[in-house]
A and B are shown apart, each in its own frame.
Chain A
Amino acid sequence: MITLASDYFATAYMAGLSHIIGLSIIGATIAVLAGMSPSFAQGLAVGRAVEAVGRQPEAAGQIRSTMLIGCVVAETGGVYGLAVSMILIFANPFVSMFVDNLPAL
Protein backbone atom coordinates (compact mmCIF):
# COMPACT_ATOMS: atom_id res chain seq x y z
CA MET A 1 0.00 0.00 0.00
CA ILE A 2 2.82 2.37 0.92
CA THR A 3 4.79 1.70 -2.29
CA LEU A 4 1.65 2.18 -4.35
CA ALA A 5 1.03 5.58 -2.77
CA SER A 6 4.63 6.72 -3.24
CA ASP A 7 4.61 5.53 -6.86
CA TYR A 8 1.47 7.47 -7.52
CA PHE A 9 2.98 10.50 -5.84
CA ALA A 10 6.18 10.34 -7.89
CA THR A 11 4.24 10.03 -11.14
CA ALA A 12 2.01 12.96 -10.28
CA TYR A 13 5.05 15.00 -9.24
CA MET A 14 6.88 14.38 -12.51
CA ALA A 15 3.74 15.11 -14.52
CA GLY A 16 3.22 18.41 -12.74
CA LEU A 17 6.86 19.44 -13.07
CA SER A 18 7.07 18.62 -16.78
CA HIS A 19 3.79 20.44 -17.33
CA ILE A 20 5.16 23.58 -15.69
CA ILE A 21 8.52 23.44 -17.50
CA GLY A 22 7.00 22.78 -20.92
CA LEU A 23 4.48 25.59 -20.65
CA SER A 24 7.23 27.91 -19.39
CA ILE A 25 9.35 27.18 -22.45
CA ILE A 26 6.39 27.92 -24.74
CA GLY A 27 5.78 31.16 -22.82
CA ALA A 28 9.46 32.09 -23.14
CA THR A 29 9.32 31.55 -26.90
CA ILE A 30 6.27 33.79 -27.20
CA ALA A 31 7.92 36.45 -25.02
CA VAL A 32 11.03 36.54 -27.18
CA LEU A 33 8.82 37.27 -30.20
CA ALA A 34 8.57 40.80 -28.75
CA GLY A 35 11.91 41.36 -30.49
CA MET A 36 10.18 41.42 -33.88
CA SER A 37 8.63 44.88 -33.64
CA PRO A 38 11.74 46.76 -32.41
CA SER A 39 13.74 45.24 -35.28
CA PHE A 40 11.10 46.40 -37.73
CA ALA A 41 11.04 49.87 -36.18
CA GLN A 42 14.82 50.11 -36.20
CA GLY A 43 14.85 49.20 -39.86
CA LEU A 44 12.39 52.00 -40.59
CA ALA A 45 14.41 54.49 -38.53
CA VAL A 46 17.69 53.59 -40.22
CA GLY A 47 16.05 53.82 -43.64
CA ARG A 48 14.80 57.32 -42.88
CA ALA A 49 18.22 58.29 -41.54
CA VAL A 50 19.87 57.10 -44.76
CA GLU A 51 17.38 59.17 -46.74
CA ALA A 52 18.17 62.19 -44.60
CA VAL A 53 21.94 61.73 -45.05
CA GLY A 54 21.41 61.42 -48.80
CA ARG A 55 19.47 64.65 -48.82
CA GLN A 56 21.84 66.55 -46.51
CA PRO A 57 25.27 64.89 -46.31
CA GLU A 58 26.81 67.68 -44.19
CA ALA A 59 24.51 66.82 -41.24
CA ALA A 60 25.59 63.17 -41.20
CA GLY A 61 27.15 63.23 -37.72
CA GLN A 62 24.13 64.72 -35.99
CA ILE A 63 21.74 62.40 -37.83
CA ARG A 64 23.83 59.38 -36.87
CA SER A 65 23.91 60.17 -33.17
CA THR A 66 20.20 60.97 -33.05
CA MET A 67 19.40 57.76 -34.92
CA LEU A 68 21.53 55.69 -32.55
CA ILE A 69 19.81 57.09 -29.48
CA GLY A 70 16.40 56.49 -31.05
CA CYS A 71 17.35 52.93 -32.00
CA VAL A 72 18.62 52.10 -28.53
CA VAL A 73 15.51 53.52 -26.88
CA ALA A 74 13.27 51.62 -29.29
CA GLU A 75 15.13 48.43 -28.43
CA THR A 76 13.89 48.54 -24.84
CA GLY A 77 10.66 46.72 -25.62
CA GLY A 78 12.47 43.82 -27.22
CA VAL A 79 14.90 43.63 -24.32
CA TYR A 80 11.98 43.43 -21.89
CA GLY A 81 10.72 40.39 -23.79
CA LEU A 82 14.20 38.85 -23.67
CA ALA A 83 14.39 39.45 -19.92
CA VAL A 84 11.00 37.80 -19.37
CA SER A 85 12.03 34.76 -21.40
CA MET A 86 15.36 34.50 -19.57
CA ILE A 87 13.57 34.59 -16.21
CA LEU A 88 11.19 31.87 -17.43
CA ILE A 89 14.06 29.64 -18.58
CA PHE A 90 16.90 30.21 -16.10
CA ALA A 91 15.20 31.45 -12.94
CA ASN A 92 11.71 30.04 -13.22
CA PRO A 93 9.68 31.14 -10.19
CA PHE A 94 6.91 28.60 -10.78
CA VAL A 95 9.15 25.55 -10.46
CA SER A 96 10.39 26.64 -7.04
CA MET A 97 6.82 27.55 -6.07
CA PHE A 98 5.73 24.02 -7.06
CA VAL A 99 8.62 22.35 -5.24
CA ASP A 100 8.16 24.40 -2.09
CA ASN A 101 4.41 23.83 -1.82
CA LEU A 102 4.35 20.03 -2.17
CA PRO A 103 1.68 18.48 0.05
CA ALA A 104 3.08 16.30 2.82
CA LEU A 105 2.51 12.62 2.13
Chain B
Amino acid sequence: MDNNLDFNIQTYHRIYLTDELWISINDTLISTWIIGGILIIFAIIARIKIKNFKPVPETRFQNIIEAMVEGFDNFVAGVMTRKYAFLGNWFFGVFMFLVFANISGIFGLRPPTADFATTYPIALTTVILMQYMGIRYNMKKGEYVREFFRPVFLFAPLNVISEFSRSISLSLRLFGNMAGGLIVMGLIYGLFPWFLSIGIPGGLSIYFDIIVGALHAFMFVVLSMYFIMMKVPQED
Protein backbone atom coordinates (compact mmCIF):
# COMPACT_ATOMS: atom_id res chain seq x y z
CA MET B 1 0.00 0.00 0.00
CA ASP B 2 2.92 2.33 0.59
CA ASN B 3 4.02 2.13 -3.02
CA ASN B 4 0.53 2.83 -4.34
CA LEU B 5 0.32 6.13 -2.52
CA ASP B 6 3.51 7.58 -3.98
CA PHE B 7 2.37 9.89 -6.77
CA ASN B 8 5.74 11.36 -7.55
CA ILE B 9 7.56 10.53 -10.75
CA GLN B 10 9.88 7.55 -10.31
CA THR B 11 13.41 8.06 -11.61
CA TYR B 12 15.09 4.84 -12.71
CA HIS B 13 18.40 6.02 -14.04
CA ARG B 14 20.38 9.20 -14.41
CA ILE B 15 22.74 10.01 -17.26
CA TYR B 16 25.23 12.58 -15.98
CA LEU B 17 26.34 15.14 -18.52
CA THR B 18 28.37 17.01 -15.93
CA ASP B 19 28.28 16.77 -12.15
CA GLU B 20 25.44 19.27 -11.86
CA LEU B 21 23.49 18.47 -15.00
CA TRP B 22 21.78 15.17 -15.72
CA ILE B 23 19.07 13.56 -17.81
CA SER B 24 16.60 11.49 -15.79
CA ILE B 25 15.18 8.30 -17.28
CA ASN B 26 11.83 8.37 -15.50
CA ASP B 27 8.22 7.24 -15.84
CA THR B 28 7.20 10.17 -18.01
CA LEU B 29 10.01 9.63 -20.49
CA ILE B 30 9.34 5.90 -20.80
CA SER B 31 5.60 6.40 -21.32
CA THR B 32 6.31 9.09 -23.90
CA TRP B 33 8.65 6.74 -25.77
CA ILE B 34 6.08 3.95 -25.76
CA ILE B 35 3.29 6.21 -26.99
CA GLY B 36 5.51 7.82 -29.60
CA GLY B 37 6.62 4.40 -30.78
CA ILE B 38 3.03 3.20 -31.13
CA LEU B 39 2.08 6.31 -33.11
CA ILE B 40 5.15 6.05 -35.37
CA ILE B 41 4.51 2.36 -36.06
CA PHE B 42 0.87 3.15 -36.85
CA ALA B 43 1.95 5.93 -39.19
CA ILE B 44 4.44 3.66 -40.98
CA ILE B 45 1.81 0.94 -41.41
CA ALA B 46 -0.65 3.50 -42.81
CA ARG B 47 2.05 4.83 -45.14
CA ILE B 48 2.80 1.35 -46.49
CA LYS B 49 -0.85 0.43 -46.90
CA ILE B 50 -1.71 3.71 -48.62
CA LYS B 51 -0.27 2.30 -51.90
CA ASN B 52 -3.09 -0.23 -52.08
CA PHE B 53 -5.83 2.32 -51.43
CA LYS B 54 -8.63 2.49 -54.01
CA PRO B 55 -10.75 5.54 -54.92
CA VAL B 56 -13.71 3.70 -53.40
CA PRO B 57 -12.66 2.17 -50.08
CA GLU B 58 -12.72 -1.59 -49.95
CA THR B 59 -10.84 -2.45 -46.77
CA ARG B 60 -11.81 -1.59 -43.23
CA PHE B 61 -8.42 0.01 -42.60
CA GLN B 62 -8.85 2.52 -45.40
CA ASN B 63 -12.30 3.43 -44.14
CA ILE B 64 -10.98 4.10 -40.64
CA ILE B 65 -8.06 6.21 -41.89
CA GLU B 66 -10.28 8.24 -44.23
CA ALA B 67 -12.89 8.82 -41.55
CA MET B 68 -10.25 10.05 -39.08
CA VAL B 69 -8.49 12.38 -41.52
CA GLU B 70 -11.63 13.72 -43.16
CA GLY B 71 -13.46 14.22 -39.90
CA PHE B 72 -10.60 16.13 -38.34
CA ASP B 73 -10.01 18.21 -41.48
CA ASN B 74 -13.67 19.24 -41.63
CA PHE B 75 -13.63 20.06 -37.94
CA VAL B 76 -10.52 22.24 -38.32
CA ALA B 77 -12.01 23.96 -41.35
CA GLY B 78 -15.12 24.68 -39.30
CA VAL B 79 -13.28 26.27 -36.37
CA MET B 80 -10.60 27.99 -38.40
CA THR B 81 -11.63 29.01 -41.89
CA ARG B 82 -10.53 27.16 -45.05
CA LYS B 83 -7.64 29.62 -45.40
CA TYR B 84 -5.90 28.42 -42.24
CA ALA B 85 -7.05 24.79 -42.41
CA PHE B 86 -3.51 23.65 -43.26
CA LEU B 87 -2.76 23.88 -39.53
CA GLY B 88 -4.92 20.78 -39.15
CA ASN B 89 -1.85 18.68 -39.99
CA TRP B 90 -0.09 19.93 -36.88
CA PHE B 91 -3.13 19.78 -34.63
CA PHE B 92 -3.96 16.22 -35.67
CA GLY B 93 -0.54 15.12 -34.47
CA VAL B 94 -0.95 16.97 -31.17
CA PHE B 95 -4.45 15.58 -30.72
CA MET B 96 -3.42 11.97 -31.36
CA PHE B 97 -0.47 12.25 -28.97
CA LEU B 98 -2.57 13.84 -26.24
CA VAL B 99 -5.39 11.30 -26.58
CA PHE B 100 -3.00 8.35 -26.40
CA ALA B 101 -1.10 9.98 -23.54
CA ASN B 102 -4.24 10.71 -21.53
CA ILE B 103 -5.78 7.25 -21.86
CA SER B 104 -2.47 5.45 -21.28
CA GLY B 105 -3.34 5.35 -17.59
CA ILE B 106 -5.66 2.39 -18.12
CA PHE B 107 -2.76 0.38 -19.60
CA GLY B 108 -0.71 0.79 -16.44
CA LEU B 109 1.57 3.54 -17.67
CA ARG B 110 1.91 6.80 -15.81
CA PRO B 111 0.25 9.34 -18.13
CA PRO B 112 2.93 11.65 -19.54
CA THR B 113 0.48 14.54 -19.39
CA ALA B 114 0.36 14.20 -15.59
CA ASP B 115 3.79 15.83 -15.65
CA PHE B 116 4.05 19.58 -16.13
CA ALA B 117 7.23 19.06 -18.15
CA THR B 118 5.18 17.44 -20.93
CA THR B 119 2.24 19.81 -21.13
CA TYR B 120 4.13 23.09 -20.92
CA PRO B 121 6.25 22.63 -24.09
CA ILE B 122 3.16 21.65 -26.08
CA ALA B 123 1.36 24.78 -24.87
CA LEU B 124 4.46 26.85 -25.62
CA THR B 125 4.40 25.67 -29.23
CA THR B 126 0.84 27.01 -29.42
CA VAL B 127 1.99 30.43 -28.21
CA ILE B 128 4.91 30.46 -30.65
CA LEU B 129 2.56 29.42 -33.44
CA MET B 130 0.21 32.26 -32.44
CA GLN B 131 3.01 34.81 -32.77
CA TYR B 132 4.18 33.29 -36.06
CA MET B 133 0.69 33.35 -37.57
CA GLY B 134 0.17 36.90 -36.33
CA ILE B 135 3.40 38.11 -37.90
CA ARG B 136 2.84 36.14 -41.11
CA TYR B 137 -0.76 37.16 -41.82
CA ASN B 138 -1.44 40.27 -39.76
CA MET B 139 1.65 42.38 -40.40
CA LYS B 140 0.55 44.20 -43.57
CA LYS B 141 -0.51 47.44 -41.93
CA GLY B 142 1.15 46.65 -38.60
CA GLU B 143 -1.97 45.30 -36.88
CA TYR B 144 0.11 42.69 -35.10
CA VAL B 145 2.17 45.39 -33.36
CA ARG B 146 -0.80 47.65 -32.81
CA GLU B 147 -2.65 44.85 -30.98
CA PHE B 148 -0.11 45.13 -28.18
CA PHE B 149 -0.83 48.84 -27.61
CA ARG B 150 -4.55 48.43 -27.00
CA PRO B 151 -6.42 50.22 -25.48
CA VAL B 152 -3.61 52.70 -24.75
CA PHE B 153 0.14 52.33 -25.05
CA LEU B 154 0.52 51.93 -21.27
CA PHE B 155 -0.94 48.43 -21.53
CA ALA B 156 1.93 47.05 -23.63
CA PRO B 157 3.70 45.13 -20.81
CA LEU B 158 0.41 43.64 -19.63
CA ASN B 159 -0.44 42.52 -23.15
CA VAL B 160 2.93 40.81 -23.52
CA ILE B 161 2.41 39.04 -20.19
CA SER B 162 -1.09 37.98 -21.20
CA GLU B 163 0.31 36.37 -24.36
CA PHE B 164 2.57 34.13 -22.32
CA SER B 165 0.08 33.50 -19.54
CA ARG B 166 -2.00 31.72 -22.18
CA SER B 167 0.61 28.99 -22.33
CA ILE B 168 0.52 28.62 -18.54
CA SER B 169 -3.26 28.41 -18.32
CA LEU B 170 -3.45 26.02 -21.27
CA SER B 171 -0.83 23.63 -19.92
CA LEU B 172 -1.88 23.86 -16.28
CA ARG B 173 -5.47 22.97 -17.18
CA LEU B 174 -4.43 19.72 -18.86
CA PHE B 175 -1.82 18.91 -16.22
CA GLY B 176 -4.17 19.61 -13.31
CA ASN B 177 -6.95 17.47 -14.67
CA MET B 178 -4.72 14.52 -15.48
CA ALA B 179 -2.74 14.69 -12.23
CA GLY B 180 -5.97 15.09 -10.24
CA GLY B 181 -7.41 12.00 -11.91
CA LEU B 182 -4.17 10.11 -11.24
CA ILE B 183 -4.25 11.00 -7.54
CA VAL B 184 -7.93 10.13 -7.12
CA MET B 185 -7.44 6.77 -8.87
CA GLY B 186 -4.31 6.07 -6.81
CA LEU B 187 -6.18 6.81 -3.58
CA ILE B 188 -9.05 4.56 -4.64
CA TYR B 189 -6.76 1.67 -5.60
CA GLY B 190 -4.66 2.09 -2.48
CA LEU B 191 -7.21 2.79 0.22
CA PHE B 192 -10.34 0.83 -0.70
CA PRO B 193 -10.80 -2.46 1.15
CA TRP B 194 -10.99 -5.53 -1.06
CA PHE B 195 -14.79 -5.88 -1.06
CA LEU B 196 -15.24 -2.35 -2.41
CA SER B 197 -12.57 -2.74 -5.08
CA ILE B 198 -14.48 -5.21 -7.25
CA GLY B 199 -16.34 -3.04 -9.75
CA ILE B 200 -16.17 0.53 -8.50
CA PRO B 201 -12.59 1.41 -9.56
CA GLY B 202 -13.33 0.18 -13.08
CA GLY B 203 -16.24 2.56 -13.51
CA LEU B 204 -14.32 5.46 -12.01
CA SER B 205 -11.35 4.64 -14.23
CA ILE B 206 -13.57 4.92 -17.30
CA TYR B 207 -14.50 8.43 -16.19
CA PHE B 208 -11.12 9.70 -15.02
CA ASP B 209 -8.95 8.11 -17.68
CA ILE B 210 -11.06 7.92 -20.83
CA ILE B 211 -13.77 10.60 -20.65
CA VAL B 212 -11.72 13.32 -18.94
CA GLY B 213 -8.66 12.42 -20.99
CA ALA B 214 -10.37 12.56 -24.37
CA LEU B 215 -12.34 15.68 -23.44
CA HIS B 216 -9.27 17.61 -22.33
CA ALA B 217 -7.14 16.52 -25.29
CA PHE B 218 -9.95 17.79 -27.51
CA MET B 219 -10.31 21.02 -25.53
CA PHE B 220 -6.56 21.65 -25.65
CA VAL B 221 -6.67 21.52 -29.44
CA VAL B 222 -9.86 23.59 -29.71
CA LEU B 223 -8.57 26.33 -27.42
CA SER B 224 -5.26 26.41 -29.31
CA MET B 225 -7.20 26.97 -32.51
CA TYR B 226 -9.29 29.74 -30.98
CA PHE B 227 -6.17 31.46 -29.65
CA ILE B 228 -4.59 31.33 -33.11
CA MET B 229 -7.77 32.63 -34.73
CA MET B 230 -7.62 35.67 -32.42
CA LYS B 231 -4.28 36.69 -33.93
CA VAL B 232 -5.07 36.39 -37.64
CA PRO B 233 -7.47 38.50 -39.74
CA GLN B 234 -10.89 36.95 -40.20
CA GLU B 235 -12.14 36.58 -43.75
CA ASP B 236 -15.86 36.73 -44.28
List residues of chain A with CB under 8 Å of any chain B CB.
Answer: 68-69, 72-73, 75-76, 79-80, 82-83, 86, 90
Report, nearest first, the 5 A-B pairs whose CB atoms are least far apart.
A79-B176, A72-B219, A82-B176, A83-B176, A79-B173
Q: With contacts A69-B223, A72-B223, A90-B8 known, is A79 near B177, CB below 8 A?
A: yes
Smallest CB gap from B175: residue in A: A83
Q: CB-defined interface of B201-217 with A at 8 Å, one 1/0 digit per residue?
A: 00000000000000110
Q: Is B180 an interface residue (CB 8 A)?
A: yes
Q: With contacts A83-B176, A86-B179, A90-B7 known, is A76 near B169, CB below 8 A?
A: yes
Residue contact A76 to B172, C-beta cutoff 8 Å: yes
Count the B residues whose beta carbon is within 8 Å of the partner chain — how many? 17
Smallest CB gap from A65: residue in B: B222
Q: With contacts A79-B177, A90-B7, A90-B8 known, is A69 near B222, CB below 8 A?
A: yes
Interface residues of A, dominant DSSP? helix
Interface residues of B, dominant DSSP? helix
- Expressed in whole angstroms, the minimum distance between the Cβ of B212 and any Cβ of chain A is 11
Q: CB-defined interface of B141-159 with A at 8 Å, one 1/0 digit per residue?
A: 0000000000000000000
CA distance in complex: A76, B222 (Å): 15
CA distance in complex: A76, B177 (Å): 10
Chain A residues with Cβ below 8 Å from B219 are 68-69, 72
Smallest CB gap from B78: residue in A: A65
CA distance in complex: A76, B123 (Å): 15
**A-facing residues in B179-236 (Cβ within 8 Å):** 179-180, 183, 215-216, 219, 222-223, 226
CA distance in complex: A68, B179 (Å): 21
Smallest CB gap from A86: residue in B: B179
CA distance in complex: A90, B183 (Å): 11
CA distance in complex: A8, B217 (Å): 54
CA distance in complex: A82, B179 (Å): 9
CA distance in complex: A88, B169 (Å): 19
Q: Can you list 28 A-B pairs, Cβ within 8 angstroms, ordered by A?
A: A68-B215, A68-B219, A69-B219, A69-B222, A69-B223, A69-B226, A72-B173, A72-B215, A72-B216, A72-B219, A76-B169, A76-B172, A79-B172, A79-B173, A79-B177, A79-B180, A80-B172, A80-B176, A82-B176, A82-B179, A82-B180, A83-B172, A83-B175, A83-B176, A86-B176, A86-B183, A90-B7, A90-B8
